[in-house]
Amino acid sequence: AVVSTQSTGMQEAETASDETAIVHYHEEEAVYISAQTDRVTVIFSTLFKDPDDIVIGKVFLQEFKDARKAHQQAPQVLFSYGEPPAELSGQPNLLRGDNIGYVTFVLFPRHTTPANRDNTINLIHQFRTYLHYHIKCSKAYLHSRMRSKTSEFLKVLNRAKPEAMTEKKFGVGKRV
């Protein structure tokens, strides 16, 4: 509803809003939405609870950002870790730290036209779920690959065991 209100305001009025709408959608996470005359900026703060999530999240978001080169109609995507983006300067209670990520979507008028508005809002609304789902799937894939490689290495080690040494007799009572 907030994105719809902000994008409708951008389409109908040619004035920028100094207000940034803040939606706390998850514990310690929020979405910041601000409308200017030529764009709507949506910034997600995301808390990563696992150090592996940070690494996988960085790779995923870099690919997300690079995908814009192939799809020129996609919104601009920016991300930062640790420090909030400059657009949020002056906002109270911003989280900082190595496990905090900020993802910024810059929506232009082509994304907020009446024909595209509902689809854009749906995609933005589901972004956090989409991000964390892909991080978990990536971790599950990496773990399955590690288990597979471990199984292969164990098979190699088992084949490398020396065969039981046969006893050779060297005379009476002597064995080697």
> pLDDT (tens digit, 9 = 90+) per residue, 110-133?
888 899 899 888 999 899 899 999
pLDDT of residue 145: 93
Supply the pTM of this predicted model: 0.72
The residue with greater pLDDT, 143 or 9, is 143
Confidence tier at 15 by pLDDT (50, 70, 90): very low
Amino acid at 19: E
Dihedral (CA of 122, 127, 132, 136) sign: positive
What pLDDT is attached to residue 135? Answer: 92
State the average pLDDT for the chain: 82
Q: What pLDDT was estimated at residue 166? A: 47
